[in-house]
Amino acid sequence: MSTEVWILGGTGRSGRAVAGELVRRGVTPVLVGRDAARLTATAAEYGAARTVVAGTVAEMATEIRRRQPAVVINTIGPFTTTAAPIIQACLPGSHYIDLANDLAALTVVFGFDTAATAAGRTLVTGAGFGVTATESVVVKLCENRPAPDSVRVNMVPSLGMEAGTVGEALAATLLDGLPGVPGGGRYDGRRYLNGRLVKSRIGSDRENLRLPDGTHVTTASIPLGELMAAHHASGAPTVTSASSEFPSSPLIRAVLPIATALLTITPIRTYAKRKLATTKTPARPRPRPHSWGHARLHWNDGTTLEGWLKLGDAQTFTGAIPAELAHRLLTTPAKPGSHTPAALYGPTLAEACGAEYLITT
């Protein structure tokens, strides 16, 4: 039986970060990608075992079926497109991890729960900062307690950026919206009400949040994977998720409805994705010393609990979570089916990746 861990998109920002974290844990990864020269250079830099050159996601799926690595880490977005073919290829013999952070992709992976359970495979989606930082606080606060009545999670990432381009994967993730997610349209926001996903306005539920370091950020509702993860992990019927990354400018909020209406037109969306993918991004230092995951849980008896997860660079954490998951999947039998990281491994997962809890209540 294979003990190999494959990283799909091994030359990308996240792929390289995951490779480094796997090596730190004593796991030598196999890098999978479409450019032989860049793969070889990255493999040499990170001490990878070998490389697999595959021109498309379909070719990667064929290689997975043929070689059945123990664990496949998918860093190729948009995960709404790549998750299904890769998971189908994994079901015969490989566990699966991805870095999805959008509701549509989490919906796809949860759709494989029955098939994965029957096949005895573990699928972990949301294995990056976005989902894991907030979900971990929810899981920590819910320990030994009944399901809360409402939950709000706030995601406050801090990450430095190297100069480069936005890239196809991120451009598509940003502009494809939420195809196939119940409760509203492709470009509507979402929240949970009475246990069901319903429409909400993107950018609503604004909150001026005082961070534990004394500084303030504004967060606003944005329909990302942490909404679904917080709902699953807590069992709360009412859940809102918000992020400091939502542009707070009134101008952007005014333009957003028109922009999203135009994006429903396929040729415009395709053009916008191509333009955005090649847009240059300047190098950017981290905006604050720490990244934060925050959750506030409320019970109808009047109890409110609040907690934080404190960590450094969000991108470093996004490299560490899949690596830690892969290491655990390699060494210990895990529950089959579809999961998010902290729902599967509990609050200690984030601590094993360098994060620290601050429970303020």
| Alpha-carbon gap, residue 224 to 286, rounded angstroms | 22
| Least distance to ligand NAP, CB of residue 61, Å | 11
| Least distance to ligand NAP, CB of residue 295, Å | 16
Residue (of 232, 251, 242) closest to 201 by Cα position: 242
- Helices 129-142 and 225-234 pack at an angle, to 10 degrees, of 20
Rule CB under 6 A: say whether 12 interacts with ligand NAP.
yes
Nearer residue to ligand NAP within complex by CB, 148 or 190: 190
Binding mask 62-81 for ligand NAP (x = CB under 6 A): -------------xxx----
For 80, the token pair is 């709404």
DSSP-derived letter for residue 106 is H
* Burial category of 192 from C-beta neighbours within 10 Å (exposed 0-12, middle 13-18, buried 19 and up): buried
Rule CB under 6 A: say whether 158 interacts with ligand NAP.
no
CA of 79: how far to CAs of 82, 116, 132, 177, 180, in Å?
A: 5, 17, 17, 12, 13
Tell me which residues in 166-195 interact with ligand NAP (CB under 6 A).
167-170, 173
| Least distance to ligand NAP, CB of residue 59, Å | 9
Nearer residue to ligand NAP within complex by CB, 59 or 149: 59
| Alpha-carbon gap, residue 77 to 123, rounded angstroms | 16
Binding mask 20-49 for ligand NAP (x = CB under 6 A): -------------xxx--------------
Rule CB under 6 A: say whether 331 interacts with ligand NAP.
no
| Least distance to ligand NAP, CB of residue 66, Å | 17
| Alpha-carbon gap, residue 33 to 54, rounded angstroms | 6
For 245, the token pair is 């990354």
| Residue selected from 29, 69, 93, 128 as contacting ligand NAP according to rule CB under 6 A | 128
Rule CB under 6 A: say whether 13 interacts with ligand NAP.
yes
Rule CB under 6 A: say whether 15 interacts with ligand NAP.
yes
Nearer residue to ligand NAP within complex by CB, 150 or 176: 176
| Alpha-carbon gap, residue 359 to 235, rounded angstroms | 20
Tell me which residues in 310-329 interact with ligand NAP (CB under 6 A).
318
Q: Which residue has the tokens 């948009």?
A: 78
Residue (of 268, 295, 248) closest to 133 by Cα position: 295
Could you list the residues that contact ligand NAP (CB under 6 A)?
9, 11-15, 33-35, 56-57, 75-77, 99, 101, 128-130, 167-170, 173, 318
